[in-house]
Amino acid sequence: KEVPDGAFFDIISFMLVTVFDLQTEEIEEAKADGDNTELDSSDRNILGKDEEIAQAIIRATETANYTSKNLGLLLREVHLDVWSMTEVLRLHLASSGAYRGQSLQNWRYQQRGGYRLLDDPGFQFCRDEPQILNALNTTLVTELSVSDKLKLLHCLMNQCLTFAGIRDEIDVRMDSMFEAQKELRDAVLQENKRIRDQVAEDKREKKEEMEKKKQEFIQQGQEGAEKKEVLTERQKEAMKADEEKKEREKTRKEEIKRSEFLEKEKELQRNILDFQDKTSIHCLGRDRAFRRYWMFDTLPGIYVEHDDDTIGDCLDTPTPWDPEATAPTEEQALEKARDILSRTTSNINPDEVVKTYAKKPVLKQQTIGNNCELENGKGEAKEENGEEHKNGEETKEEVKEKVPPWGRCLEEKDVCPVHSSILPKTTWAVLSTEEQLDQLIDSLNPRGFRESELRDRLISDRENIEFKLKKASKPLAQILKTDETLEAEAEKMLESVSKQRDKNHKYGGAMAMPMGTKMSDIVEISLRDQIIELEEKIYIGTLGNLKVRSRDEWQNAVQVRDYNMGCDQLAWGPEKEHTLSADQLLPETRSNSPTEEDESSNKRASTGSTAAAAAASLVVRQLAAAILQVGQMINDTEKYLKSPLGEDEKDRKKRLKEEEKKKKEKEAEEEEGIICEEPAVVLTPFQKWECSLMSATNIGQLFLHLTTLDNSIVWSKSIMNTKCRICRRKTDPEKMLLCDGCDRGHHIYCLKPKLKSIPQGDWYCSDCKPKERIRSPKKKVRRVFSSVEESEDEEEKTEEDAEPEEEEQEDDDEDYRNIKKKKSKAKKKLIEASPEAPAPKKKKGGIANLLGKRRAAANDGEQKRRGAESSEEEEEVAESGRSRRSGRAKSNQASPELENGKSKSKRRRGELDDDIELQFSVAGLNDLLDGMMGHKDGWPFDHPIKKSVAPDYHKIIKNPMDLGTIKAKLDRLKYSCNQEVLDDIRLMFNNCYQYNRETAEEYGCATRLEKFFNKE
């Protein structure tokens, strides 16, 4: 049996991670991450015409949304370990062929060559092997049979091969292989051309030399009188040496060129074989019995496979075999050659033919037997012509019995060693030494149809094969083991595991499980240990407490494979509408206490698999309740939970908005008389997790929920992981005080002043402590001397800093009025005597305060330009500015009645400023414009319409507008309130409707974008 974290787990987890990574690459390349298109059950273009296949695709789509709906995670984001791998694998297979959005579906159809949902190998696997999928519900994947494991690996491998990235990689390798083959052909052609040119050059040189000698001979004949020059022996030797040197130099150059070509040819052949191995695995060849010979990069040796059921039927007649056939002698060969020559008109020398024929190797009749042992198949008798001894005596060797070679077809299928399905055969064998390789090459028939190709391949790749055999001698020794060796190693391994478990029990406190414990029990015990461990981490970290009567009793019950709820009932879901009492989690014999007659009837009814399934279901329910209690330990989920079970402020607002929308729809339906049973409450991620947890059906799902909870807890806020902000140490967690605002730790003895104990209630550090305004006692009213502008600034400052309470405002106003009454009369006369009182210095408020200094500066510049044009306009602008900001347009000529009602006018002006601020939100408008410009239908409105695109546009549309122009005006502070921006956006839509027809694409984009605009 395979151990849970053995080699098979590594292979499965590696392939699952690879599949998930390839899925992510395709989603990113297709830009389908935000595509939430739902599957239309009536769309037959996607589901097909077969109703059964359509329902299977719908079920796969629902399974694909299980983790995102209940855990807030995609399946590829779920924590993958030894215990959760089986459930993740089951969900992955069950979700194969799921619909994942229109964008991704269209991309796959184009990039995968007409890919459809039912083409997923996992989808076909679920239809062909439903029993394996059902087995993953109750057992670990490591407990499956070897054949089922191979089917799973085969399915995952086929899934990997369907992805566009893998297909592209295969295409690249195929192109590289074709290029290497083309390069090899070009190199061979170039070498052949070079040889032909060299031969032609030699012939030309010889011809020129002959012509030269002929000319010299003719010239000497004409001169006749002259005597032929006689060379000495030394000169002849020197000339001969020069010729030999030239010949050697020529031969050396030829050998260098030939060796370079052979080296290049060898390298190209090696590259071609390498590309072939990386593209697909090919066998080396087949022998006469259709057995395949394999070599693998990760396994040493030559492997012989005899497991092909597709070789066909037996021959009509047995394979011919002549036991008297022997290798021809020289006389027989000469006679055969003369017979051939007598029937031809060729002038070939018979002696040369005899020599050539005699040089051919004698056919060896050695073959590989059924057990992959080399044997003398034809059983030839040794030569009867014995050797002569020194004393002249002749000896005759004994004649062996002639046995036909193995691998012949015998016509009858039941007894045929090649085609029989009844006879025993060795399915796999291995050749691991160089001697066996030599014997294999010698046993293959060089004139056989299949064996000749295998023989040539072995000879050409002999160097690489020998290198692998020498390098992998030790791994082969580990593979080739006898049954006794395997049994001894198994016993040794069990003994070491037992010792390790005893050691863990003695020093680590872990429960030592006896040898032979069922895998289901090991999984259950591991889950219980993780539940207790998580509960202790939450409790010790002061993140929450168990809501039970006795924590020790609850822990002890979980440890001894039992369950004690410790409370009256559990509640979960929205408004705690789902409940579970302690009696519902007790076995039937304990909860119902039946009589003896009932017990006998129950025993008969709940025997076999039904009783086991009921017991397993009860255990799952109990453990789910225990995990629920651990999750509900955390009271402040907003503070101590993060994504995926926690939600931030943005997600919370979105959920509340959706909930409010559902409530309004429900109220509208109720007014119309429609009964709606669906609740209007939108579940939080933690509530979804609770409901999904309590509906779990196997332990694998419980592992997923438990790990999701563990990953969602903000462990940095645990007191075990908190450092003192002052001394930066984690020591003394019992004396660590956490700030209720920032959750940073402080030792009580590190604070100044030191604390003797943990204070009751909320405690805040110096940074988070709310700042209290200390009001100074009322002092004697002093005389204030300042200019008119300073007094006005002081009045405005008093207005802005006024407290919201009515009594404090009245007190401040009274003080201010007293101070103002005591001003000198001379100063007041000076102000009245001035021909024109200068405009009071304005401080930003209302719109100017919202827009900032840039907006205020723009307004001031605009007012100055207007003042230069007309003095009357300057007075109006000044009055309007004073009336908006300070409310003192007539402060110098104000009547006593207006002065007495100043406190009321202050409140009205504050309310007016608040309304103006609410009416203009630059950040919100920017977000709205960015959302519209980033919308898929916002492309026609990103920039102004050019005359080159639509020549008649500006003749029809008098006031063109687009999102780019609106955003630019907003950035340049051309707007003063929200309504102006919204009016320009609606003007843009009206222009589009006025210019375009309803059938135009821009018209449809405007309709959809306007819906988005109204929604936002």
Q: Which residues contact 1009 (CB under 8 A, 6 or more apart)?
A: 932, 935, 937, 938, 941, 989
Quick one: pLDDT at residue 748? Answer: 87
In the chain, the N- to C-terminal Cα span, in Å, equals 60
* Rounded Cα–Cα distance for residues 993 and 1000 (Å): 10
158 — phi, psi (to 5°)? -65, -35
Quick one: pLDDT at residue 397? Answer: 44
> Residue 284: which of 305, 313, 258, 308 has the closest Cα?
305
Quick one: pLDDT at residue 630? Answer: 94
Let me know: does 695 contact 520? Beta carbons within 8 Å: no
Cβ atoms within 10 A of the Cβ of 657, count? 11
Cβ atoms within 10 A of the Cβ of 287, count? 22
* Rounded Cα–Cα distance for residues 90 and 129 (Å): 12
At residue 1009, what is the residue type?
A: L
At residue 121, what is the residue type?
A: P
Q: Which residues contact 262 (CB under 8 A, 6 or more apart)?
A: none
Let me know: does 839 contact 878? Beta carbons within 8 Å: yes
* Rounded Cα–Cα distance for residues 89 and 81 (Å): 11
Map tokens 């005389």 to a residue. Answer: 783
Q: Which residues contact 365 (CB under 8 A, 6 or more apart)?
A: 376, 377, 378, 380, 405
Average pLDDT, the chain: 75
pLDDT in tens, 113-159: 888 888 999 999 999 999 999 999 888 898 899 999 999 999 999 99
Q: Which residues contact 526 (CB under 8 A, 6 or more apart)?
A: 83
Quick one: pLDDT at residue 384? Answer: 35
Quick one: pLDDT at residue 943? Answer: 85
Let me know: does 32 contact 101? Beta carbons within 8 Å: yes
Quick one: pLDDT at residue 505? Answer: 59
> Residue 7: which of 414, 298, 433, 216 has the closest Cα?
298
The vertex-576 CA angle with 571 and 579, nearest 5°, equals 35
3-state SS assignment for residue 299? coil
3-state SS assignment for residue 648? coil
The vertex-122 CA angle with 118 and 125, nearest 5°, equals 95
> Residue 639: which of 578, 681, 682, 686 has the closest Cα?
686
CA dihedral 921, 924, 928, 933 (to 10 degrees): 100
Q: Are strands 302-305 and 736-738 parallel, antiparallel or unpaired?
A: unpaired
Weakly modelled stretches of the chain, pLDDT under 50? 225, 345-348, 350-367, 376-399, 589-607, 774, 779, 784-858, 864-918
> Residue 573: which of 738, 694, 736 has the closest Cα?
694
Q: What is the DSSP string of 921-967?
A: -HHHHHHHHHHHHHSTT-GGGSSPPPTTT-TTHHHH-SS---HHHHH
Report residue 457 as tokens.
């391949």
Q: What is the DSSP string of 955-992?
A: HH-SS---HHHHHHHHHTT---SHHHHHHHHHHHHHHH
- Identify the burial level of 191 via C-beta atoms within 10 angstroms of its C-beta, where 0-12 means exposed, 13-18 middle and 19 or more buried: middle
> Own/partner pairs for 181-190, CB < 8 Å, 24+ apart?
181/272, 183/268, 184/265, 184/268, 184/269, 184/272, 187/261, 187/264, 187/265, 187/268, 188/265
